[in-house]
Structure 1
C-alpha cells in the first residue's frame, strides 16, 4: 500500500474517531432522554417516552437553579461587555511601550484558576461589607456576578479588540474635523462598527457564565445555580432527567446559532446592497458632472 492511500485511510479513521469522541456523548444523552429505563440507557430501547421532560419541568430545584443561572448570566453580560469594551478602547489609546504591561494585567484573570477567583471574591467582599456596613451586598448572586465578570470581561475585551484593530481611524478624524463631538463619534461611528463584536462578546459572556462551575460553587454561598444542582445530582447517580435537560440545551444552542447565522447573512447582504447603491450613485454623479464639461 502506497503512502497516498494509507494517509487517506488514516485521515478517515481520525475523522471518524474525532466525531465519535465529540458527538458520541451527545448521541447517548439524546437517545436516553427518550428511552423508558430509569437509568440512562441507549440499548436496548425499551420504549419511547416524554416523561423525563415533564419530570424535568416539575423539578423545583432544577428550575430554580435554571432561573438563577439565567439571571446571573444576564447580569454578567451587562457588566462584562461594557468593561471589555472600555478595556479594548484603552488598549488602542495608550502608548505602545506600556501596552504589553496593560495587556498582561487585564488578561491575568483568564489565567487565574476559577477556584482562586471564587474564594478570593468571597473573602474580600466578606471583609469589605463588614467594614463598610453594607452587609446586604454579601449575597451569593452578587458575589457570583462579580467573580464571573472579573475574568469573563477579559474574554469580551479580546473579542472586541480583534474587531477594533480593523477600525479605520480616518473615519473618526473626519467626523471630528466636521464638528462632531467624541460622544457622537462613539455612538454613530464606533458602536455600529463594533456591533458584531459586541453581540459575539455578549453571547460568549452569557454562555461562559451559564456553564461556569469552579468560580460559582464558591461564590454562590448557600444559593444554587443550575451547574451546582447538576453537580449534586450527578454525585447521587445520573438519571434521564439530566439527559432531557441536555437535549433542550443543545436544541436551543443549535437554533440560536442558526438564527444568528441567518441574521448575519441578511445584514451582510443589506450592507452589500447599500454599498453598491452608494457606488452607483457616485458613478451617476460623476457621469452627470462629466457631460456638461464635455459639452
Structure 2
C-alpha cells in the first residue's frame, strides 16, 4: 500500500514538473528556430538571428529599462507603506482592527483596470499628467497590501516582551524599531521586496491606463502581439528566465554558506 502511494506521489510530482517546465522548454526552443512564428514546429533550422534582432530593438530595451525603473520605485514606496500598515494593524484590536484590515486589503481584490482608471481620473483632478509616475502610484496602491500581509504574518511570531524590556531599559521607540523590530522583520521585508518587484514587472492593466506615451515591457509585448509577434519575445523571455535561475542558484548557495557559518560559530 505504501509503495503504491509513493508511486502515485512520484507520478504526480513528475506530471506537475512537466506541466511547469515543458512550456518553458518550448518557449526557449522557439528562440532558436529559424521560423518567423514563435514555435518549435515546424523546425526550420538552428539560428541566433532572433537574439540579434532583440539586441537591435531599441524600443524593447527602452521598455525593459522603464519596467525595471518602475518596479524599483514601487519597491521603494511599497516597503515603508506595507511596514507601517502591518505595524498599525498589529497594534490595535477589536472591530477597528478588522475594519482597517479589510480596507487595506481591499485593493488586492479590485480588478487592475479599475485601479488604473481610478488612478488616472483621480490625479487628473489635480492636473497631473499621465506617465510612468502614475503607473508607480497605481501599482503601489495594491502591491503595498502584499507587503503588509507578509510583514503582518511575521509579526505574529514577534515577542512583545522584548519591546517592553527595551523600553524599560531606556531605549527610545526609534531604537526599538531599528534594533529589535526591524531585524526580526528582515525576512518578511526581503520577501515583500521580491514580490513587489515581480508584481510590478508583470503588471499590465494598471500600467496600460496610466503610462501615457511611455512603454513598459508588458505593454510593448501586447502591442507586438496585435501587430505580429516574432520570436524576439522568446529570446527576451529566455534571457530573463536564465537570469532568474542564476540569481536563484546564487541565493541558495549564499544561504547554505550562511547556515554553515552560523553552525560553525555555534559549535565554536
TM-score w.r.t. length of structure 1: 0.83
Mean Cα displacement is larger for which, 28-37 or 204-213?
Answer: 28-37
Runs of at least 5 residues in structure 2 that lack an aligned partner in the other structure: none
Structure-1 residue corresponding to 2:203: 212
Mean Cα displacement is larger for which, 171-180 or 144-153?
Answer: 171-180
C-alpha RMSD of the superposition = 2.2
Counterparts in 2 of 1:40 and 1:202: CA distance versus 1, 3 Å: same
Deviation string, structure 1 residues 46-67 (Cα, Å, up to 9, x no partner):
3332221121121111111101
Does residue 230 of the first structure (1) align with residue 230 of the second (2)? no
Does residue 247 of the first structure (1) align with residue 245 of the second (2)? no
Counterparts in 2 of 1:191 and 1:11: CA distance versus 1, 3 Å: closer
Q: Following TM superposition, by how much is the alpha carbon of 1:105 offset from its aligned partner in structure 2, in angstroms?
A: 0.4
- Of the candidates 165, 168, 176, which is equivalent to residue 174 of structure 1? 165
Deviation string, structure 1 residues 216-267 (Cα, Å, up to 9, x no partner):
1111122210100000111223311011011011111112222222333333
Mean Cα displacement is larger for which, 107-116 or 175-184?
Answer: 175-184
Mean Cα displacement is larger for which, 60-69 or 137-146?
Answer: 137-146
Structure-2 residue corresponding to 1:40: 38
Q: Following TM superposition, by how much is the alpha carbon of 1:163 offset from its aligned partner in structure 2, in angstroms?
A: 1.1
Q: Following TM superposition, by how much is the alpha carbon of 1:13 offset from its aligned partner in structure 2, in angstroms?
A: 5.7
- Of the candidates 179, 186, 202, which is equivalent to residue 177 of structure 2? 186
Structure-2 residue corresponding to 1:281: none
Secondary structure of the structure 2 residue equivalent to 1:128: coil
Quick check: 2:120–2:130 contact (8 Å CA) kept in 1? no
Runs of at least 5 residues in structure 1 that lack an aligned partner in the other structure: 130-136, 278-295
Secondary structure of the structure 1 residue equivalent to 2:125: helix
Tell me how far apart the structure 2 counterparts of residues 274 and 72 of structure 1 sit (CA, whole Å): 41
Structure-1 residue corresponding to 2:20: 22
Q: Following TM superposition, by how much is the alpha carbon of 1:7 offset from its aligned partner in structure 2, in angstroms?
A: 6.9
For the pair shown, the structure with the greater C-alpha radius of gyration is 1
Tell me how far apart the structure 2 counterparts of residues 5 and 190 of structure 1 sit (CA, whole Å): 47
Secondary structure of the structure 1 residue equivalent to 2:214: coil
Tell me how far apart the structure 2 counterparts of residues 275 and 193 of structure 1 sit (CA, whole Å): 20
Tell me how far apart the structure 2 counterparts of residues 39 and 190 of structure 1 sit (CA, whole Å): 53
Secondary structure of the structure 2 residue equivalent to 1:186: helix
Mean Cα displacement is larger for which, 4-13 or 76-85?
Answer: 4-13
Deviation string, structure 1 residues 159-202 (Cα, Å, up to 9, x no partner):
11111111111221121111111101111111111111111111
Tell me how far apart the structure 2 counterparts of residues 273 and 190 of structure 1 sit (CA, whole Å): 26
Structure-1 residue corresponding to 2:258: 267
